[in-house]
Amino acid sequence: MRGDAVEKWLWMSAADLGRAIGRGEIDPIALTQTFLTAIDGHPLRDRIYARVTHDRARAEAKAASARARSGQRLSLLDGVPISWKDLFDSAGTGTEAGSMLLQGRVPERDAEVLANATAAGLVCLGKTHMSELAFSGLGLNPSTATPPCVNDPSAVPGGSSSGAGASVAFGLAAAGIGSDTGGSVRIPAAWNDLVGLKTTAERVPLDGVVPLAPRFDTVGPLCRTVEDAALLLAALEGGRPADLAGANLHGRRFAILDSVAQDDLRAAPSAAFDSAVQRLEAAGAQISRLRFDDLHEAMALTSCLYTVEAYGLWRDVIEANPDAMYREILERFQLGKGFSGPDYVAAWAKLETIRGAYDAAVAGFDAVLVPTAAILPPNLERLNSDHDYYVAENLIALRNTRIANLMGLCALTLPTGTASCGLTLMGAPHMEEQLLRVGAAAAQALA
């Protein structure tokens, strides 16, 4: 096999790799070794991967190769190598969630989603770096490592699934699996020009996933195509992938969400969003504008809902060794001290009411559109030295993505063609298959 042909494997979609394996054009053993060699030889390896699981990857590739030769492949992605965020338990391999608080933590069994993916034949390349305990959308982690942004070496890559995004963007995994509590799949996907799927809370199992705020925590893929997102969702939950054949935008109704999501957009994301909407309309979509001003009240509940749940889970571990944490993440957790039990219960009751009103307001639309992030990736050094800048950029980075988490939706971010600018389509709860079908058509229009 010529070297340039093998090099192309690093940049192919997961689905295309799977099809090539099925046709006998790619051996999973050679494919996995190509990724491992690329990882080990990459100058940014240790900023992207926390641990590379060479032995596991080679063993899984060997088994996938045997299945391919005997015509017994487990799925289209059988033999395709992917990465895993360092909060998914993996038997016998450290899982530390980007925190020195969990240094040396080695689980005895795989997370359920990792076990499901393995049962579908996917190959585990290793564990990727992340924001500490998943509590930041920026991807900055001075405690372990800050992965690079593919579009700006001086900027952060987005988080908290920072290494997951970088592993795909730099050609060191066919896809990455991350988690999303307030935007942690979609921000690194958008800032690294990838597709990212935020699933509905409680759809994909969280057993064996280091938690942040379980009522908001979700699992989802960062990948090159909407087809990959559909196939990976099926692998994560042990189901069947959405049928994307024949998807188009003719007659599809989209709403541009004007409330909150359009405020304070910086120039590049604003222009990229407008251009993307024009291309969707040119492809046959019907575009309306929507105001839902109850979102302002929902956003105000965020500091209570997220911090109380996160601090309640981690309080004893954090307070036993607070100096082990990055100061910005520690401060964010400790905001949970300022709310009472009645505050938390009242906030959830109010949010549920707002969710019902939102569902009614958007019932006639196939998806609601927002810019994935209002800003471009911020400067790494300034974030690490300027507290006020860190707080402000973190909040606005996650603002638009947090809408889907607060409203309990599924959401899909797509590259717009402008570097580090994504377009998000938000769908109804548990309607991932329909969202992916619409998203596949939207991606064709944007391309």
Positions annotated as catalytic residues are 85, 160, 184
CA distance 289 to 258: 7
- Measured from the Cβ of residue 316, the count of other Cβ atoms closer than 10 Å reads 8
**Alpha-carbon torsion, ordered 167, 171, 176, 181, to 10 deg:** 50
Distances (CA, A) of 101 to 307, 317, 319: 18, 7, 10
Name which of 284, 288, 329, 336 is nearest 309 in CA terms.
336
Give the pair of three-digit tokens for residue 439: 């998203």
**Which residues, at least 6 apart from 89, have a Cβ–Cβ distance to it below 8 Å?**
95, 107, 109, 110, 111, 114, 208, 209, 210
CA distance 117 to 235: 5
DSSP letter at 101 equals: G
Identify any residues that bridge with 223 across adjacent strands, giving them in sequence order: 195
Name which of 109, 67, 64 is nearest 88 in CA terms.
109
CA distance 114 to 124: 8
**Which residues, at least 6 apart from 408, have a Cβ–Cβ distance to it below 8 Å?**
200, 201, 355, 429
Is the four-CA dihedral 87, 424, 165, 188 of positive or negative sign?
negative
Residues 254 and 285: beta-carbon distance below 8 Å:
yes
DSSP letter at 147 equals: P
